[in-house]
Amino acid sequence: MSLLAIQRGLRDHILANKADRPDAIAASGEAGLAVYRHAYRAQLVACLRDTFEQTWSWLGDDGFDAAALSHVSTHPPSGWTLDAYGEDFPQTLAGLYRDDPEVAELAWLDWSLRRAFDGPDAEPLTPEALAQVDWETAVLTLSPTLAIGAFTTNSAAIWGALSEGQAPPAVDRLPAPAAIRVWRQGLSPRYRTIDAFEQQALAMVLDGCAFARLCEQLAGPDDAERAIEQVGGLLGAWLGDGLVCGTG
Amino acid sequence: MSDRVIAPFEGFGLGLRPPHYADFLKREVPIDFVEVISENFMVPGGRPLYILDAVRERHPVAMHGVSMSIGSADGVKPDYLRRLKTLVDRVDPLWVSDHLCWTGLEGFNSHDLLPLPYTEEAMEVVCANIACVQDVLERPILLENPSSYLTFADDEMTEHEFMARMCEATGCFLLLDLNNIYVSGTNHGFDPATYIAGLPADQVRQIHLAGHSQGKDLLIDTHDQPVPDPVWALYDIACRRFGPVATMIERDDDIPPLSDLLAELDIARVRAGGLERAA
């Protein structure tokens, strides 16, 4: 039997998770096959527990592991790094917990913070560089670790309590849909709840909109002065958070 | 075959694990080298690379990978090799090692060290893959013997015969995990001393010492226990056969305080110091 056929046989055996012994395996290999079948699943569940730590804490061992095993059965890993495993886990949880949207939201936050942890480095804009910016033409470059997710519940407060070992608050629907931005400041992953105005402003910046144009569009025909004040406040917050890494 | 060599490096080291990051950043750790898991640092940026750079300033670093999949019938993944080369260029390591196994195939990655059949065809595949890796990395690599839990009906040679021929054909070097030899020897009924005697002594550049657990039917390579007496006994045999070789305690789970591992490493120092290479 060719090496390719042998490896396909062992791969299919592990994925199927059934006791049938592939032809290529020596007769003494039954116990060993069980070891590899178990190790494959145990490692991936452990990986998901590690990445989605607060989601695991929220669901408990049994609930989390059942969801993780369900995910493993439908999402065999393809990447060379375990870091990449779990990107689709929030969607799996959204399907499993349709009436509990905080579960997938917690998972999104876990995943995004982990990705920010070892995401690309970028130096924040310095005060000296800021003083040179031509705001008529400037297009802001934001941290490459920035991720923005939509939220409908107080899952950010739940995540915060769980991460500090405190009793989490009860689930509460937000009065209006909101969003959370995740990024890394220095070496520390961070997150902040943002309103619809900031969400729209960030979307425009990420879309390459010049800062002056952004001010015009957000101001609209009515209360331009207040909108410009709001945008100025946003810019100050972004600079303070180390979110602005350059201008073009 | 690569005509490059890896200079022997004598010393005693530890694997860098997250629970000990703070120790390595705060103080001088009395070891001769550090081994890092390559994939943990094949990342775009952030704290992992900050820690690696800080550790590298104080210690020689060996890079040890788990995802090269040197035995895959469909070859080593170019993207993986590119990322590995980037890290190699950053670290300038003592050497780069991975395992004699396969981890994935045709877009699937098990993230486990799956066993190879020891056949002539597997030899051709492994040697071709090693040549590819050594070309990209511009240096010979070390390959480690894995623990295994099954054998193949078509096996044509022993593991140590396979490793010896692999070294001869490619110029690669060996990382011997003595615990893995013990685990596989117990599981498959071969004599670890015979295994060690059959290896090319001049190609051995590093030794791993670790522990294991008793499973239902088989010994399991858990790397979560102190080095047990049978593995220490193999270390004595290895020291006599190979002489001074870079040696480290490899602990992957239930990781104790750094002081415990340093104490265990001192045992290795004492045992190695009392033994000389057989003439």
Q: Give the distance from residue A158's alpha carbon to the nearest chain B alpha carbon, in angstroms.
A: 25
Contact state of A80 with B105 under an 8 Å Cβ cutoff:
no
d(CA A53, CA A86): 12
Q: Which of A15-24, A34-43, B221-230 has the lowest mean pLDDT?
A: A15-24
What is the per-residue pLDDT for A191? 97
What is the per-residue pLDDT for A227? 77
Where in chain A are the domains? Answer: 1-99, 120-248
Contact state of B149 with A36 under an 8 Å Cβ cutoff:
yes
Model confidence band, residue A167 (pLDDT cutoffs 50, 70, 90): very high
Whether chain A has a CB inside 8 Å of the CB on B27: the answer is no
Query: Please, what are the averages of pLDDT over each run of 10 residues along chain B (279 residues)?
Result: 78 97 95 98 97 97 98 97 98 98 97 98 98 97 97 96 98 98 97 98 97 93 93 97 96 94 96 69
Show which of residues 179-218 on chain B sit within 8 Å of chain A, judged by CB atoms.
Answer: 187, 215-218
The pLDDT of A11-15, averaged and rounded, is 96
User: Taking CA B234 as the corner, what is the angle to CA B231 and CA B240, rounded to the nearest 5 degrees?
Assistant: 145
Contact state of A80 with B39 under an 8 Å Cβ cutoff:
yes
Q: Give the distance from residue A173's alpha carbon to the nearest chain B alpha carbon, in angstroms.
A: 34
Whether chain B has a CB inside 8 Å of the CB on A84: the answer is no
Burial classification of residue A150, based on how many CB atoms lie within 10 Å of its CB (0-12 exposed, 13-18 middle, 19 or more buried): exposed
Whether chain B has a CB inside 8 Å of the CB on A190: the answer is no
d(CA B250, CA A174): 49
d(CA B94, CA B33): 9
Looking from the CA of A178 toward its CB, the CA atoms found within 13 Å total: 17
Mean pLDDT of chain A: 94
Contact state of A35 with B218 under an 8 Å Cβ cutoff:
yes
What is the per-residue pLDDT for B98? 98
Topology of domain A120-248, CATH: Outer Surface Protein A; domain 3 (3.90.930)
Residue of B nearest to A84 (CA): B43
Contact state of A6 with B117 under an 8 Å Cβ cutoff:
yes
Residues 6+ apart with CB under 8 A from B133: B68, B70, B76, B81, B141
Task: Choose from B81, B112, B113, B220 for mutation: most chain A CBs within 10 A.
Answer: B112
Residue of B nearest to A41 (CA): B110
Contact state of A6 with B149 under an 8 Å Cβ cutoff:
no
B122 in Cβ contact with A3 (< 8 Å): yes
Given A24, A33, A121, which is nearest B46 (Cβ)? A121
Show which of residues 59-78 on chain A sit within 8 Å of chain B, judged by CB atoms.
Answer: 76-78
The pLDDT of A24-31, averaged and rounded, is 89
A242 in Cβ contact with A185 (< 8 Å): yes
Whether chain B has a CB inside 8 Å of the CB on A120: the answer is yes
What is the per-residue pLDDT for A218? 83
Whether chain B has a CB inside 8 Å of the CB on A33: the answer is yes
CA B31 to each of CA A140, B10, B28, B88: distance values in angstroms, whole numbers, following the listed order: 47, 11, 9, 21
d(CA A187, CA B21): 14
d(CA B148, CA B140): 25
d(CA B72, CA B103): 7
Q: Give the distance from residue A133's alpha carbon to the nearest chain B alpha carbon, in angstroms.
A: 27
CA A237 to each of CA A198, A214, A240: distance values in angstroms, whole numbers, following the listed order: 10, 16, 5
What is the per-residue pLDDT for A222? 67
Q: Looking up tokens 């500090």, which residue turns up?
A: A164
Residue of B nearest to A8 (CA): B105
Residue B165's region, left for phi above 0, alpha for psi from -120 to 50, else beta, is alpha
Show which of residues 204-243 on chain A sit within 8 Å of chain B, judged by CB atoms.
Answer: none
d(CA A149, CA A221): 29
Given A7, A44, A76, which is nearest B102 (Cβ)? A7
What is the per-residue pLDDT for B68? 98
**Widest pairwise Cα distance in chain A:** 80
Whether chain B has a CB inside 8 Å of the CB on A126: the answer is no
DSSP A127-167: HHHHHT--TTT--EEE-TT-EEEEEEESHHHHHHHHHTTPP
Describe the crossing of helices A196-206 and A224-240 by its angle, rounded to 10 degrees.
70
- In A3-52 the beta strands, taken as DSSP E runs, fall at none
Residue of A nearest to B103 (CA): A80
Number of helices followed by number of strands (H, E) in chain B: 10, 12
Token pair recorded at residue B203: 């190609």
Domains of chain B: 12-273 (3.20.20.150)
Burial classification of residue B274, based on how many CB atoms lie within 10 Å of its CB (0-12 exposed, 13-18 middle, 19 or more buried): exposed
Report helix, strand and coil shares of chain A as percent, to nearest 5. 55, 15, 30
What is the per-residue pLDDT for B279? 37
What is the per-residue pLDDT for A228? 79
Q: Give the distance from residue B135's alpha carbon to the nearest chain A alpha carbon, in angstroms.
A: 20
A227 in Cβ contact with A219 (< 8 Å): yes
Residue of A nearest to B187 (CA): A32
For residue B251, how many other CB atoms are within 10 A of its CB?
24
Chain B positions touching A119 (Cβ under 8 A) are 44-46
CA B206 to each of CA A26, A149, B130, B142, B198: distance values in angstroms, whole numbers, following the listed order: 31, 47, 18, 8, 17
Q: Give the distance from residue B152's alpha carbon to the nearest chain A alpha carbon, in angstroms.
A: 5
| Residue A244: φ, ψ to 5° | -95, 120
Q: Which of A66-80, A206-220, B95-109, B251-265 has the lowest mean pLDDT?
A: A206-220
d(CA A240, CA A124): 9
The pLDDT of A115-122, averaged and rounded, is 97
What percentage of chain A carries pLDDT values higher than 70?
A: 98
A18 in Cβ contact with B143 (< 8 Å): no
